[in-house]
Amino acid sequence: MDQFYNSEDREVLISLLMEYSHRMLRICDEIEERRYDFSKRILTLILLAFAGSFAFYFSYLAIINPNIRLLMVAVSSAAFCAVGYYMDHFYQIDQKLKLLRRDAKTFSNRLEKVVRLASQMQEHIVTNPVSRIELDLRIADAESALAHLAHYQSVRNKGF
C-alpha cells in the first residue's frame, strides 16, 4: 500500500493540515471577536437609547429650568444621532460576520477532505513511526479546529 503515497505526499498533507487548521482557528477567533464587538455595541445602543429617552422625557414633559431643558434636548439629540451611527456599524459587523461564517464553512469542507485523506494515508504508512506520530498530531490539530467551528455554529444556533 505504500506505493500510493510517498514522503512528498505526506509533507504536502502535513503542510495543508497545518495551514488550514491555523486558518480555521483564526477565522473562529475573528468570529468570536466580532460577536463580542456586536454585543458591546448592543449594550451601548441600549444605554444611549435609554439616555436619549430619559433626556427627552425631562426636556418636554417635566417642568424644569429652560437652560436645563436646552441641555436635555442637546443630550437627547446627541444620543439619538449616536444610535443612528451605531446602527450603521451593526450592519457592517453583520456583513463581516456573514463573510466569516461563509469562509469558515468553505475552509471546514476543505479541511475535512484533507483530514480524510490524511487519515487514509496514516493507515497506509506503517514503516516510519515518527511520520505516523507527526501525521497523527496534525490530524488531531485539524479536528480540534473543526471542533471550534462546530462550537461557534452551535452557539449561533442558540440565538446569537
Check residue 157 and give its pLDDT: 60
Low-confidence residues of the chain: pLDDT under 70? 1-6, 58-64, 125-127, 155-160
User: Model's pTM, two decimal places?
Assistant: 0.69
Q: What is the pLDDT of residues 66-92, one digit of tens each?
A: 777 777 777 777 777 777 777 777 788
Domains of the chain listed by start with CATH number: 7-43+84-157 (1.20.58)
The angle at the Cα of 147, spanning 18 to 129, to the nearest 5 degrees, equals: 45
Q: Annotate the chain with three-state secondary structure.
A: CCCCCCHHHHHHHHHHHHHHHHHHHHHHHHHHHHHHHHHHHHHHHHHHHHHHHHHHHHHHCCCCCHHHHHHHHHHHHHHHHHHHHHHHHHHHHHHHHHHHHHHHHHHHHHHHHHHHHHHHHHHHCCCCHHHHHHHHHHHHHHHHHHHHHHHHHHHHHCCC
Overall residue count recorded for the chain in this entry: 160
